[in-house]
Amino acid sequence: MKKNKKLFFLFITTLVVSTIFVFVVLTNQKHLPSATIGTIIEPLNGYLVTDIKQEKILLNRKFKNEKFIINIFSSWCVPCREEHKYLLKLKNNNIKVVGINYKDNKRNMSIFLKELGNPYYAIVNDKDGYQSIKLGAFGVPETFIIDENKKIVLKQIGPIDDSVYYKFLKVIAK
């Protein structure tokens, strides 16, 4: 009698424990969590490095009632080259892309943009990485969609590809 109870217990525990572990292994993706999604972005301050205007940019004041994109890039970052054509496409669709130039120098950046084209509405210089931290970024490239209320609604870690691009268009059209 007591043995049967133990056996029953053994079967149940084995079943439960193995289900949990299998579930953990199968659903385990090493996604980086994004705490900043849904939060309102902090004003970015850095120097605008494009030819638009030489002034401190406070993104809260610009972009009234429109969605826009923030893209962290650098001339020394190889995947940034891969995603560049998608940024140009976004620009051609009249979507404003703000670039955050991460740990780069101005000369290398202008060569990079001359070679591949300039998709950016404005570029913020992020010499020490603080602007990227404000967005909760881990490195380059990373791309964020900001909605009308200055909320981060989407975050892409790593380069943009076809599927990410269409996802972006969908979110912005909403």
Partner 1 sequence: MKYFLITIIFLFSFETFADDKINSKVIEISKNLRCLVCQGQSINDSDSDFALDVKKLVKKNLEEGKTDKEIYSYLKLKYGDWILYKTPFNLRTILLWLLPIIIILFGMKLIFRRTKFE
Partner 2 sequence: MTNIIGNLLIFFSLSSSFASVYFYFKKKFSLFLKSYLLSCLLCFSSFLFLIYCFVISDFSISAVYQNSHSTKPLIYKIAGSWGNHEGSMLLFVCIIAIYGSLFFYSSKNIETNFRNLTIFFQNILKIIFLLYLFFLSNPFDYIFSNPTEGLGLNPILQDPLLLIHPPFLYFGYIGFSLVLSLVLSGLIKNFFDKEWASLSKNWVIVSWVFLTIGILLGSIWAYYELGWGGYWFWDPVENASLMPWILSVALIHSMLIMEKNNTFKSWTALLAIFTFSLSLFGTFLVRSGILNSVHTFANDPERGLFILGIIIFIIFFSLLIFILKTNFTDEKKNVVFLSKENFLMYNNLFLIFFLLVVIIGTLYPIVLATFSNENISVGPFYYNTILAPFVFIFLFLMGTGPMMKWYKNEFKSKVSLIVSAGLISLILVLVSSYIPKKINIIYVLGLFFSFYLISATIYEIALCNTLIKIKQNLGRNLSHLGFGLLIMSITLNSFFSKEYNFMINLNEKFTSDDIEILFEDFKITKQSNFDQFSTKFKISKDKETIILRPSIRKYNQPEQLTSEISIKNTLLKDFYLAINYSSIGERRLIGARYYENFFILGIWISSLIIIFGGVSRLVFRK
Among 45, 66, 105, 166, binds partner 2 (CB under 8 A): 105
The verdict on 18 binding partner 2 (CB under 8 A) reads yes
> x/- string (CB under 8 A) for partner 2, residues 59-88?
-----------------x------------
**DSSP state, residue 99:** E
In the complex with partner 1, which residue's Cβ is closer, 1 or 35? 35
Residue spans of beta strands (DSSP E) within the chain:
68-73, 97-102, 122-126, 142-146, 152-157
CA distance linking residue 13 with residue 145, whole number of Å: 46
User: Looking only at Cα atoms, what is the longest distance across the chain?
Assistant: 85
Residue 6 tokens read as: 């133990």
Interface residue with partner 2 among 12, 14, 56, 161 (CB under 8 A) is 14
Q: Which of the listed partners (partner 2, partner 1, none) does 7 bind, with a CB threshold of 5 to 8 Å by partner kind? A: partner 2
What is the distance between the alpha carbons of residues 21 and 13, in angstroms, rounded to a whole number? 12
Q: Which is nearer to partner 1, 36 or 71 (CB)?
A: 36
- The correct pick among 81, 85, 91, 103 for binding partner 2 (CB under 8 A) is 103
